[in-house]
Structure 1
Amino acid sequence: MSRHRNVRNRSYSDDYDYDDVYGHSVEEDSCLSPGDNSQFLYDRSRNQQAISSFLEQHSNIEEEAEDEADVSRPSLDRRDSLDLRSLHLDEADEVRLMSCLDELRNVLGDSISDNILIQTVINHNYDFNKALDEILNTNQSKEPKKPKLDPVKPVVLVDNVKAPVITIADKPKVIATKLEPKTAGVIKGFKVDASSESGSRSHTPRSQSPAAGYMSPKPEQSEERVTFKAKENKIDPNLQYSNERGSQKDHLYIVVIGHVDAGKSTLMGRLLCEMGEVSQRTLHKYEQESKKMGKQSFMYAWVLDETGEERVRGITMDVGRAQFETKTKKVIILDAPGHADFIPNMITGAGQADVALLVIDATTGEFESGFELGGQTREHALLVRSLGVSQLAVAINKLDTTNWSQERFDEIVNKLKSFLKQAGFKDSDVTFVPCSGLTGENLVHPPTEAGLLEWYKGPCLLDVIDGFNVPERPVAKPLRLTINDIFKGTGSGFCVAGRIETGVLNKGDKVLVCPLKEMAEVKSLSINDMPNNVAFAGDQVSVTLSGIDIQNVFVGYVLSDPVQQVPVTTRFEARIVVFNVKTPITKGYPVLIHYQSLVEPANIVKLKALLNKSTGEVVKKRPRCLGNNSVAVVELEVGRPVCVERYKDVKELGRVMLRVAGATIAAGLVTDIYNT
């Protein structure tokens, strides 16, 4: 048996040898066995009696506390609340039930027992408003009516002359004298003297505060209890949006697209410099660094291309972000990559945009290579139109290399007009602007070049952007936020970034992370790196979540309203338009579905019908294959559950893109969702 030091009984003298190291086994007189100190040993027979007496005493205290609680709150009895497991609810219904219970408790407090709340919510199919109405009506009917002592309803008025108090049935009642209607005012349901209101502040008891669920007058003022129907805490989303954003400039998200090396980043970087969004010190730094690398013409592109790899390779790889303000709008730029290898990133940026800016390289030969089959000009235009962007500005860039030739400008415009019309853009929604990103001509200010002034009288690029119409924000629909980035925040929890497609998100809200269907809480949120308490549909936000593990959240997931949840499925129907395919699409054709930020493998499991491109009528049922430029209804199946919405319900979440081997072969609208 090992030796132990008796530290408690040891006396430490001044001449104690501190060279003695803890843990050394030495022979000393102070090294006593613990067996010599019986008070430190556990004795079952002795301690069992002490524990039983402690438990008995503790139970008596609990019973007394429960009796006191029953007296003060006779209607509240947590012991009769139902066990949720006995209800045999699935996970989704249980989440909806808990959400309704939280809202009911916010309105009613603890005046109603849990079992009544649960049964009422289930009876009304988790409808909060109907459940609240039934509970309020039931309580009103059960409340005993007090007999009226006087056919005339007592009016509580305060007069300068003291009113005599007459006692009837041992209950005081105030009889008002010398009534003066001109001095009587009505506030919060009670008549008070206007002079007393202005002269001195009335002492209102806490029970009469509007913050309480009801307002009850003092016994000497009235013998009738005045109750107000509890109102729902939720604010009208449209009213909240007008209050928050009514005085601010409209937010407009614009995606910059085009063929690789068309000058997208340089054009936007020069625009930001002209707008004063980039300091001269930063611009000088970019100029010196780009000179060292032998890429001085890329100095403006570095404003948006921030990563080292993007600057070394001279191409945009991820979606760059910047913002500036026009006369009427706050514009957020989404600089999408133009290289064919980064089309998925471009789709992510286009899915977050309201309008698009298509940049064209006017240099001889460059426009043709980007516009012909295989170039990104065509594909980008088709993608943004398929993703719901209807307004387009076309910047004919680098026109200074052709000495501002009107013939070259007209040639490009004529070719693009016919193609964009076929892609679905209206002529009235497309504007063509000649400009130069490197020199800054016709970007922010009207043109000054003599060669351009000879034939161009239109607006500059900034005026075209300021003239875009801001789409209507669907704030009244249930919350849908698509996650396109996940990162660890500075504080507790973690952050997700994405676009609010529909609805309103407030700080402190409970959200459902789908398709996992786990509950989380919004600890904080920010818009464009600025903290906010509320965000609306159309906003790009960063949300700090708590109550869920970061390992259970992935890019492509959706933050949903807990009650009106986003549909989750592995099989859905879509109406697609086939672009260009090398081999015909047949049953079982494997594709990659691009849905917002989600990229998911899928199979076309059924070809349901071939449609007429103009009228949409069924031409052939169950076709054997689909060729180029065909329109069809197909059934798609993915390997794991995904969140999708029907296009008729939520347009923002009703579009899908189909890609194969790095090429976009089709775009579609979700027409039906199957339960799986």
Structure 2
Amino acid sequence: MARHRNIRNRRDSDDYDYDDVYGHSVEEDSCLSPSDTSQWIYDRSRNHHAISSFLDSHDDIQEEAEEDTAEQTRPELERRESTDIRNLALTDADEAKLLSCLDELRDILGDTVSENVLIQTVLTNKFDFAKALDEILNRNKNKDKEPEKVISKPPPVVLIESAKPVVSNIDKTPKVIAINVEPKVGVIKGFKVEQDGGSGSRPQTPRDQSPATERTIQIPSKVKEKIDPNKQYSTERGSEKDHLYIVVIGHVDAGKSTLMGRLLCELGEVSQRTLHKYEQESKKIGKQSFMYAWVLDETGEERVRGITMDVGRAQFETKTKKVIILDAPGHADFIPNMITGAGQADVALLVVDATRGEFESGFELGGQTREHALLVRSLGISQLTVAVNKLDTANWSEERFNEILNKLKLFLKQAGFKESDVTFVPCSGLTGENLVKPPTELELCKWYKGPCLLDVIDQCNVPVRPVAKPLRITINDIFKGTGTGFCVAGRIENGVLNKGDKVLVCPIKEIAEVKGISINDLSSNVAFAGDQVSVTLSGVDIQNVAVGFVLSDPVQQVPVSSRFEARLVVFNVKVPITKGYPVLIHHQSLVESANIVKLKALLNKSTGEVLKKKPRCLGNNSVAVVDIEVCRPICIERYKDVKELGRVMLRVAGVTIAAGLITDIYNT
């Protein structure tokens, strides 16, 4: 029982001899041995010696503290002077411009300039990166040119401490002997340097060399310059073949997919195993002639229905070019998809069916041949190749070829195509005649001496790529990638896109970072105007991005508005266009509801003169200036600034009624 506590004789105060405070630790602050009693005995000599040592070293401690305070003064002030961007009351667009400029300035200047100075300089120069950088660099140069000033300081006191302090018998205080030394002290760029190397000089310590004590800004020896876009384009693409995007258009069942599929097979782009598989599968459903079309029509619904529904993609190479095919649907129900494909192309290939009755139904009786030709011309495509397909059904008749040629020439000239920019080629997609090799059919060789289809495509001119203009990328598809972030697909209309760039997603005005770039399913670090790219983005939610949005340069942003002025060319309309007329506006891949809110003027077709101001209505084949209001803000450009983003199409009830150029944008 000796181990147990005496419960009967225990008093309550025995266990509670400390203040019962919530959170108070029951452990001692120090662990001392109970047997060590010397620590509790007062020793006068030991205490006196400790006080003397403290007094002797007190000045040294104070001097070191002063040095630490001086060293920490500037960083502390910089932290206090730093500006919070959120307190500047900037708009989202201005904040995006500011962040973009700050990133570029930090890439060049590093951490040598405080963030407060950078922000104030950028705001002063109205977000102009070049002007802000020049101002900072010029300010630093002026500081370097200032004459060096010698700051006089009182002679420092050098303390000589003996091994044992001298203590007077009278006042019992230690005596310290001081010797005055006058070293030459100068200030060079904020550093304190002692110029004589005598015994009184103090060598420079790492603390003296710390950047925290420096008072001037160090300008990097080599300032990173922005790469010239034209020079970068010539460096990256100078040795490669030019990229040419060609859209294949025409009436439904004209043989567009079969023609392109046979062309790819003749060029060796499709393996024999794949082709044999398509042949066997097409035989099972009784459509053996579709085996070549299935090279581009990959979805099951397209193969069952026998028509193209979405834009198919394929590529091949000629002698001088790398050609990317955009196989557009010909059915009237899929005109919006055709407009999306045509908006991504540089040139167009119009396929017509030479069979008796088929050409007439597609061209004269409300078919898509006319509408497709008008649409591609309205979208800015000026080079057109006409493939007169299925001419073998007419026994390669020259009379039939000339009949089609004469009808189309007149119409295409009225649509705005120059005669020198239009080429006619007789061919057959099913037999492969005159596609990649000169014709061998005797009936055709008698009268046709021109080039084959492949040579005509190779002779097309590649448009000048506007790589030096501000970045503009139109989004026509959004999908989830395999890694982090998500992907958007679209065409780079202007500028250069590098991996790691910051872009502004418009019209929502959110900043995103480019994590990856893919061109024709191949990874790349840079892409240029004219390229079809897939871009992996981070920093923005996929739910906030939609087809028709534009990736813009953060500084030189794309205009966003819901009202604009346009110069329209009206096609055939059943009902005249009046004020308040509802339409569907097609702008690249964007489709939005809109209204014609004002009819400003009726113009002469050829001269552009104003025939009548404020007309009451617009009839067939008229040209007019109107105001259009969209149901929500969209990304648009004036035609004179960016041609690709300055065109619009107006459709009503599945029919294209007008095409126009944006001449002015209103602030909304």
Q: TM-score range by the shorter chain?
A: 0.7 to 0.9
Question: Aligned partners of 1:553 and 1:47: how far apart in 2?
Answer: 57
1:70 touches 1:76 (CA, 8 Å); kept in 2?
no
Question: Aligned partners of 2:365 and 2:660: how far apart in 1?
Answer: 21
- Are 1:117 and 2:109 counterparts? no
Question: Aligned partners of 2:425 and 2:317: how far apart in 1?
Answer: 20
Choose from 588, 599, 609 the match for 1:617.
609
Alignment of 1:284-323 (within 5 A): 284-323=276-315
- 1:85 maps to 86
| Distance apart, 1:146 and its partner CA | 6.3
Question: Aligned partners of 1:283 and 1:67: how far apart in 2?
Answer: 80
| Distance apart, 1:619 and its partner CA | 0.7
C-alpha distance 147-90 of structure 1, shift in aligned 2 (>3 A): closer
SS at match of 1:642: strand
| Distance apart, 1:105 and its partner CA | 1.1
- 1:644 maps to 636
C-alpha distance 445-674 of structure 1, shift in aligned 2 (>3 A): same
Question: Aligned partners of 2:374 and 2:195: how far apart in 1?
Answer: 84
- Using the size of structure 1 for normalisation, the TM-score is 0.79
SS at match of 2:24: helix
| Distance apart, 1:141 and its partner CA | 1.1
- Are 1:436 and 2:437 counterparts? no
- 1:161 maps to none
Choose from 453, 457, 469 the match for 1:465.
457
C-alpha distance 273-142 of structure 1, shift in aligned 2 (>3 A): same
- Are 1:545 and 2:537 counterparts? yes
Alignment of 1:100-111 (within 5 A): 100-111=101-112
Alignment of 1:119-158 (within 5 A): 119-143=120-144, 145=146
Alignment of 1:185-200 (within 5 A): none
- Using the size of structure 2 for normalisation, the TM-score is 0.80
The percentage of aligned residue pairs carrying the same residue is: 80
1:75 touches 1:113 (CA, 8 Å); kept in 2?
no
2:355 touches 2:393 (CA, 8 Å); kept in 1?
yes
| Distance apart, 1:232 and its partner CA | 4.5
| Distance apart, 1:231 and its partner CA | 3.3
| Distance apart, 1:44 and its partner CA | 3.9
Q: Gaps spanning 5+ residues in structure 1: where? A: 1-41, 51-63, 149-167, 172-224
- 2:23 maps to 45
Structure 1, residues 420-456: CA drift from partner, whole Å, max 9, x if none?
0000000000000000000000000000000000000
- 2:349 maps to 357
SS at match of 1:101: helix
1:586 touches 1:624 (CA, 8 Å); kept in 2?
yes
- Are 1:574 and 2:574 counterparts? no
Question: Aligned partners of 1:651 and 1:48: how far apart in 2?
Answer: 80
Question: Aligned partners of 1:284 and 1:496: how far apart in 2?
Answer: 35
SS at match of 1:600: strand
| Distance apart, 1:85 and its partner CA | 3.5
1:460 maps to amino acid: C
Alignment of 1:271-420 (within 5 A): 271-420=263-412
SS at match of 2:231: helix
Runs of 4+ in structure 1 over 3 Å off: 47-50, 66-76, 144-148, 168-171, 225-233
1:132 maps to amino acid: L
- 1:59 maps to none
1:480 touches 1:561 (CA, 8 Å); kept in 2?
yes
Choose from 252, 255, 262 the match for 2:254.
262
Question: Aligned partners of 2:575 and 2:82: how far apart in 1?
Answer: 63
Count of residue pairs the alignment pairs up:
551
Choose from 542, 556, 577 the match for 1:585.
577
Question: Aligned partners of 1:478 and 1:668: how far apart in 2?
Answer: 23
- Are 1:446 and 2:424 counterparts? no
1:76 touches 1:112 (CA, 8 Å); kept in 2?
no
- 1:56 maps to none
1:323 maps to amino acid: Q
Question: Aligned partners of 1:69 and 1:448: how far apart in 2?
Answer: 92
Question: Aligned partners of 1:541 and 1:606: how far apart in 2?
Answer: 38
SS at match of 2:360: helix
| Distance apart, 1:86 and its partner CA | 3.2
- 2:61 maps to none
| Distance apart, 1:73 and its partner CA | 7.4
C-alpha distance 613-144 of structure 1, shift in aligned 2 (>3 A): closer
Deviates more, 1:288-297 or 1:128-137: 128-137
Question: Aligned partners of 2:131 and 2:221: how far apart in 1?
Answer: 14
Q: Gaps spanning 5+ residues in structure 2: where? A: 1-19, 29-64, 150-193, 198-216
- 1:158 maps to none
2:233 touches 2:528 (CA, 8 Å); kept in 1?
yes
Question: Aligned partners of 1:140 and 1:640: how far apart in 2?
Answer: 50
2:112 touches 2:218 (CA, 8 Å); kept in 1?
no
Question: Aligned partners of 1:73 and 1:378: how far apart in 2?
Answer: 74
| Distance apart, 1:84 and its partner CA | 2.4
Question: Aligned partners of 1:449 and 1:138: how far apart in 2?
Answer: 78
2:520 touches 2:532 (CA, 8 Å); kept in 1?
yes
1:569 maps to amino acid: S
SS at match of 1:143: helix
C-alpha distance 589-104 of structure 1, shift in aligned 2 (>3 A): same
1:634 maps to amino acid: V
Question: Aligned partners of 1:130 and 1:409: how far apart in 2?
Answer: 63
1:76 touches 1:113 (CA, 8 Å); kept in 2?
no
Choose from 510, 517, 520 the match for 2:509.
517
Question: Aligned partners of 1:76 and 1:230: how far apart in 2?
Answer: 29
Question: Aligned partners of 1:312 and 1:408: how far apart in 2?
Answer: 32
Question: Aligned partners of 2:493 and 2:461: how far apart in 1?
Answer: 18
Question: Aligned partners of 2:96 and 2:646: how far apart in 1?
Answer: 25
| Distance apart, 1:67 and its partner CA | 6.3
Question: Aligned partners of 1:641 and 1:127: how far apart in 2?
Answer: 26
- 2:212 maps to none
Question: Aligned partners of 1:638 and 1:428: how far apart in 2?
Answer: 38
C-alpha distance 594-46 of structure 1, shift in aligned 2 (>3 A): same
SS at match of 2:607: coil
Question: Aligned partners of 1:67 and 1:482: how far apart in 2?
Answer: 56
Question: Aligned partners of 1:126 and 1:251: how far apart in 2?
Answer: 35
Which of 1 and 2 has greater Rg? 2
1:136 touches 1:229 (CA, 8 Å); kept in 2?
no
Question: Aligned partners of 2:21 and 2:511: how far apart in 1?
Answer: 48
- 1:216 maps to none
Choose from 241, 249, 253 the match for 2:241.
249
Question: Aligned partners of 1:610 and 1:602: how far apart in 2?
Answer: 20
1:75 touches 1:111 (CA, 8 Å); kept in 2?
no
1:466 maps to amino acid: D
Question: Aligned partners of 1:599 and 1:286: how far apart in 2?
Answer: 35
1:46 maps to amino acid: H
1:520 maps to amino acid: A
| Distance apart, 1:116 and its partner CA | 1.4
Choose from 409, 414, 424 the match for 2:416.
424
- Are 1:631 and 2:609 counterparts? no
| Distance apart, 1:145 and its partner CA | 4.8
SS at match of 2:283: helix
SS at match of 2:412: helix
1:623 maps to amino acid: P
Question: Aligned partners of 1:473 and 1:439: how far apart in 2?
Answer: 37
2:554 maps to amino acid: P
2:121 maps to amino acid: T
| Distance apart, 1:581 and its partner CA | 0.5
| Distance apart, 1:113 and its partner CA | 1.4
2:95 maps to amino acid: E
Structure 1, residues 364-383: CA drift from partner, whole Å, max 9, x if none?
00000000141100000000
1:395 touches 1:434 (CA, 8 Å); kept in 2?
yes
